[in-house]
Structure 1
């Protein structure tokens, strides 16, 4: 049983710093420094000196690095598939021929282009549109993630500080195994059993290579289809949003016009009521004048009759 008045258990050492850093690198670059100082000050005030020191040491990311981090955090499923695609591609490139490498390179460019557009759209929606140079840096980072395992691990943390640079090309077994440029000595003829084993080993390597190629192709095609579907869905959502905004604007205009007509009608009603009141007052005044005139006429008639009567 917990002792009354005891403090609640705190996270293990380092967990607070990891949480703070995750929050910090989700902050746009324009607000990064202010947020970093705020989080570091709060950690220091709470007695977490190590967390404060780690938080204060964080470097502000470039806009392209922040967009790449934003893509990872906003699209975790797609990012996971992208990392898996990179692992499959790196494995396949080690055993593919020139035609297979060319085909996978085209698929790789398509996937990187689609994801970089998605990152740019996310950044724009967050209020920080990317320049042309920043978009190129995002593409460079995504190419590096596919080609280099270390780059993939760095991006997977969601805390990139700057854009990543891809290697000149994917690692390949042929490049790694390439020896000196001189012609090797002709090997001695192999025994029949040795030739048979070599042929079997070559066939097995080809079979494994074709299997790897097929798996890499399917992974790349699935990622490309998924990205195309998401892009189409985003385009439909944008179109629907635009239509809704237009309908909202038209409704607002109709509402404003109706309010103006209502204001005018109320003004006309007040004016008509005033005119009706004034007309009523004039009617009462006229009626009173008629009554007085009628009494005066009756009295005058009576006076004429009295004067004309000889008996009076």
Structure 2
């Protein structure tokens, strides 16, 4: 999602700065915004500083929607394509066709909102139920409203988006409304055939977009289950390893205490040994002196 580019005369691209800001949790947004704006002012980039300072801190729901856009780019692109296909198909499909697509839309919106909640939780910011509903509302707006889709595509949603009361009547190509068209104009068989063919193509594109989005969600769900299982196994291994480490640390502590006792006993024994050696030396000298004295006395008696 980061836009590349360097401004003339040096300095970081303001678009990249804005991308960085909207990737931050709301709690860190204002502080970082002011730092970036101050840096731009110091660098003599007054226009950039004003634009950075004007950036609004996103709500938690908007941040979670932006996080989903950045963290799941492939799924997000398929979701945006689904929105384009649904808006295009809405102008010409009959109620039964729209009912089918609406059911797929609800499933996909629900699955993506769960992913956004999981991403937010993993980032340390769990979403409350009202905030999760705001995320779902934002995703529905992305499907229904081209402007909302364009804003979400930038990853800079500031607050929860609200879908219009119904899908727009115009097709993506701007060919004009099909529902509610004047009925007093005669429709030739050829025109009916062309309209039927257009409806079939739009329905096919919308179905394909929905199918691709659901397949991607299923794949991500399986991936998530695998990673969750791996995480649970890793946590269990960490717990077991922690217990072993604790036991080894206890044994090491006991061993160190035993070693200290043994070293103390060794020092005491060495001291006793030196004392005994000194006493033995003294006794030997005294014995030698006594023997010499006895020998001298014996010689004198002769």
The whole-number CA distance in structure 1 between the counterparts of 2:95 and 2:87 is 15
The reply on whether 1:91 has 2:80 as its aligned counterpart is no
How many residues of Structure 1 are paired with residues of Structure 2 in the alignment? Answer: 277
**Cα deviation, residue 279, structure 1:** 6.5
Check whether the contact 1:137–1:163 (CA below 8 A) recurs between aligned residues. yes
Partner of 2:299: none
**What is the alpha-carbon distance in structure 2 between the residues aligned to residue 10 and residue 231 of structure 1?**
41
Matched, 1:130 2:130: no
Residues 107 and 278 of structure 1: CA distance in aligned 2, closer, same or farther (over 3 Å): same
Q: Normalising by structure 2, report the TM-score.
A: 0.80
Distance 1:143 1:14 in 2: 38
Q: TM-score, normalised by structure 1?
A: 0.77
- The answer to whether structure 1 residue 206 and structure 2 residue 196 are counterparts is yes
CA distance in 1, matches of 2:267, 2:45: 80
Preserved contact between residue 120 and residue 126 of structure 2 (Cα < 8 Å): yes
8 A contact 1:114–1:228 mirrored in 2: no
> Shift of the alpha carbon at 1:68?
1.0
Give structure 2 stretches of 5+ with no counterpart: 1-5, 171-175, 288-302
Between structure 1 and structure 2, the one with the greater Rg is: 1
CA distance, structure 2, for counterparts of residue 265 and residue 163 of structure 1: 61
Q: Distance in 2 between matches of 1:15 and 1:260?
A: 54
Corresponding residue of 1:178: 180
Q: 1:12 to 1:140 in 2, by over 3 A?
A: farther
Does residue 1:223 correspond to 2:241, yes or no? no
How much has 1:204 moved relative to structure 2?
Answer: 2.6
> Residue 68 of structure 2 corresponds to which residue in structure 1?
71
User: Aligned partners of 1:13 and 1:273: how far apart in 2?
Assistant: 68
> What residue number does 1:42 align with?
39
Residue 107 in 1 paired to residue 82 in 2?
no
Structure 1 gaps of 5+ residues are 1-8, 191-196, 297-312
Q: Which moved more, 1:11-20 or 1:84-93?
A: 11-20
The correspondence for 2:162, drawn from 142, 165, 186, is 165
